Structure 1
Amino acid sequence: MVMMSQKSEVKNRLVKKFDGYQSFQYLTPGKDYKPFQLPQSEKYRQTEEIELRDDQERIFETLLKYYPIVSLRDHGFVVPKNQEDIIAYCRQLHTAFDYEGLALSGVDVLFENFMDGISLLTSSNGLKWDDVILTLGIRYCDIAKQDTVYIARNYHDLLEAKGSNKMAILPSLEAASILENEVDRVDVLYGLGIRCLGITYNEANTLGSGLMEKQDGGLTRFGHRVVERMNRLGMVIDISHCGDQTSLDVIEASEAPVFITHAGARAVWNSPRMKSDEVLKACAEKGGVIGVCAAPNTTLSAKNPNEHTIKSVMEHLEYLIELVGIDHVGLGPDTFFGDHVGLQHAFDDMLSLSESHGEHFEESSYVKGLENPTEATKNMIRWMIKHGYPFQDIQKIIGGNALRVLKDILD
């Protein structure tokens, strides 16, 4: 664990309101739910200290204090210490949500899908409708008991976060598989607070093809109906896990800009999980925003494939800026508290899934400099300051671009 410097202590005073609440503390462990061994303070560990000069430190503090910071994908979910516990832990509704860790992140607006546990309840047939309703309800109940985060339902709610010193959570779902073939379920999800919906996860569903499919048939007729309904309601469309043709079809079909909340550039790392130049440019030309992902073993770089660090992640950021322009790039780290890779392995093993990669690499257990939500966004900001990014460009990347598009969609 890296020891905190005096400058780090200054940084950590710039946090959100936190009242000490621990997830589900109104219940009794062992009686109301089964407790599991979870990581404690080590889950906030700082894996790389990005030192700044005093003048740069003032820029960092100014950004955190006055400018909205948006994470297009991160997770309050806490992964158990023991990998063998992960599936059993996720089979119960009462999974821990780390309010203190989110408060330390400095993020104002968080796209959170709440499905981290429920995804492990399912078979390869995908998420079940009732399970999603239960998971949303239990998480909303827990959120209602604390004073650090709140559920945002419109653009005005997002803007309130900075002034209230709280975090606005924009409820999201990773994929629309639970719609099956019922378009009115989009309205139900909207009524339950969902404001961002992915078209597919890695596999195909009734809307289109996921990025793991060998054949991408594009957006289906039902998928077109869903896109139209989401446009009417004012819901963010996410194509992070869609195949290339499905992504292009969604961008063309949507009247509103489309988000790629957490991905990277295939030109930097040749993997289906990354997006082609064609998709990236089409997204930007429609007015959309691309969030740079920092999940372990995703946004690697062919220059150094055997080490996943903030350097390789930010190589994707730099490439995207050059390709689509500064106005269409954001941050979507996609990090967890605890063993992210362990969670992914449990998920893949249970569903017999494995994302194929065009490049060979040695798996990293975490991304150095971007391991958790507490560290990730702040270090990405510090990296940009250290590398001489203009203040206005940083402001756009950390939230300005996303909020510009969200205003049009949510209102």
Structure 2
Amino acid sequence: MEKSLKQGYKGYKAYDYLVPGEDYKVFNLAEEGNEFGEYIIPLTDEQEKFMDEIIAKYPMISLHEHPFCFPKPVTDTFDYAREGRSFTAYRALAESKWDCVFDNMMDGCCLITSKHGWKWNDVIYDLGLRLADISHQDFLIKCEKVDDIYRAKAEGKVAWVPVIEGAAMIENELDRIDMLYGFGVRLMGITYSESNGLGSGLKEAHDGGLTHLGYQVIDRMNKVGMAIDCAHVGDNTTLDIIEASKKPVFISHTGARALWNSKRLKSDEIIKACAAKGGVIGIEAAPHTTITEKHTTHDIEAFMEHFEYVKDLVGIDFVSFGPDTLYGDHVGLHHAFSANLSIKQAFVKQNGEGKAPSFPEVPYVKGLENPTEASYNIIRWLIKHNYSEQDIAKVMGGNAIRVLKEVW
């Protein structure tokens, strides 16, 4: 199988309008490709043709990515982040099959003025520089409505949706939601793993649920047309959000706790509540998240076991994919930023009882190393396992579009 570039890509590279070394500090960045060697699921010629037909007909959407290049070595990310200028992997996205990507920016790595992140000025700095770069190119379309997704697909481009993973930086200023919407943000998490003024994050031992301010934020997001994400939110707070929201919500990147007892994954109760409200659960592939007792080595088989569990639990209409991948050493990034990304607390057993099953650390998640590889292998896995055209269309984008039409 040979990769081809989307027809809308004309060769632009991040910050081409500036002079390297003069206008910004230069870092040695990971290649816009595979750091550890490419793995593509093999298909027969007939299956390859079927894949091409599906991709040509239906929008392909990733609900959660970080589609920019990280430094080599990844420990340079501390200095890289302080510059506030992340480099979108345009060419790699042009090689991908995604028509729309939800870009979660630098999230907990956004340390421009703070050691801990999630500050309003830092988030705006990060967002503003990315918007400036995107304004100088014409391959990524700033996506503000569902029609932009269809337009991107028709033009051989990618619809780009800026996302904020946690809402700590709005503090007690409800109007900041409107401001972020004005900047183009169309999905926001209520908490990251830490609690904030809105509710409890998933790493907390005690989850007090949605606060009064939290209820106000949910109402304002519903009114302005910003989608809600509960991926990093504590259990009680997530249930409160789903009940309070007048619109369906996303759990953009997670897995099934029934398969692996980790705080980072969601219980059957939460998955069912999200689906009952019409929401969508995206399955994630960040290193060492969606593993199972059957597949303790994290790879696409473990990832897809979570997908099939959620699909069987609530139905094919309520599950999709938010791989949560990037271009660079993702495992190394987790080691370097463990505190900022709440790795230790988020990945422990939910009930805290007994000893969690051991699992091998992988250098990367085979089959899902970065957004490009994920875009190929998820659909190829579905085809190889005899999913129908209709069901593939739903989980690869149709389910997300259904929710976005209602929320946006």
Give the TM-score normalised by structure 2: 0.94
Correspondence for 2:94: 103
**1:287 pairs with 2:278:** yes
Structure 2 Cα separation of the partners of residues 42 and 394 of structure 1: 25
Instruction: Decide whether aligned partners of structure 1 residues 202 and 105 sit closer, same or farther in structure 2, where only a CA change above 3 A counts.
Output: same
Correspondence for 2:377: 379
**1:328 pairs with 2:318:** yes
Deviations, residues 6-52 of structure 1 (Å, cap 9, x unaligned): xx21xx12635221111112212221111111122553765422111
Structure 2 Cα separation of the partners of residues 243 and 170 of structure 1: 25
From 327, 330, 339, the equivalent of 1:337 is 327
Deviations, residues 260-288 of structure 1 (Å, cap 9, x unaligned): 01111001111100000000000000000
Instruction: Decide whether aligned partners of structure 1 residues 347 and 120 sit closer, same or farther in structure 2, where only a CA change above 3 A counts.
Output: farther
Correspondence for 2:58: 67
Deviations, residues 220-246 of structure 1 (Å, cap 9, x unaligned): 000000000000111100000001101
Correspondence for 1:405: 403
Correspondence for 1:277: 268
Using the TM superposition, give the Cα deviation of residue 122 of structure 1 relative to its aligned residue in structure 2, in angstroms.
Answer: 6.0
Structure 2 Cα separation of the partners of residues 26 and 189 of structure 1: 25
**1:310 pairs with 2:300:** yes
Correspondence for 2:352: none
Give the TM-score normalised by structure 1: 0.93
Q: Which amino acid aligns with 2:324?
A: D
Structure 2 Cα separation of the partners of residues 131 and 308 of structure 1: 33
From 129, 149, 154, the equivalent of 1:158 is 149
SS at structure 1 position matched to 2:161: strand
Instruction: Decide whether aligned partners of structure 1 residues 388 and 220 sit closer, same or farther in structure 2, where only a CA change above 3 A counts.
Output: same
Structure 2 Cα separation of the partners of residues 382 and 128 of structure 1: 40
Structure 1 Cα separation of the partners of residues 152 and 194 of structure 2: 35
> Does the CA contact (< 8 Å) of 2:199 and 2:211 recur in 1?
yes
How many residues are matched?
400
Q: Write out aligned runs for 1:7-406 (5 A).
A: 8-9=1-2, 12-13=3-4, 15-40=6-31, 42-43=33-34, 47-116=38-107, 119-121=110-112, 123=114, 126-305=117-296, 307-349=297-339, 354=344, 355-358=346-349, 359=356, 360-406=358-404
SS at structure 2 position matched to 1:261: strand
- Structure 2: gaps (5+ residues): 350-355
Deviations, residues 126-178 of structure 1 (Å, cap 9, x unaligned): 41111111211110111112222111111221221111111001121001111
Instruction: Decide whether aligned partners of structure 1 residues 257 and 16 sit closer, same or farther in structure 2, where only a CA change above 3 A counts.
Output: farther
SS at structure 1 position matched to 2:311: helix
Structure 1 Cα separation of the partners of residues 199 and 97 of structure 2: 36
> Does the CA contact (< 8 Å) of 2:108 and 2:340 recur in 1?
no
- Structure 1: gaps (5+ residues): 1-7
Structure 1: 4+ residue segments shifted above 4 A: 122-126, 349-353
Correspondence for 1:4: none
Structure 1 Cα separation of the partners of residues 5 and 74 of structure 2: 33
Structure 1 Cα separation of the partners of residues 35 and 134 of structure 2: 21
After superposition, the CA RMSD in angstroms is 1.7
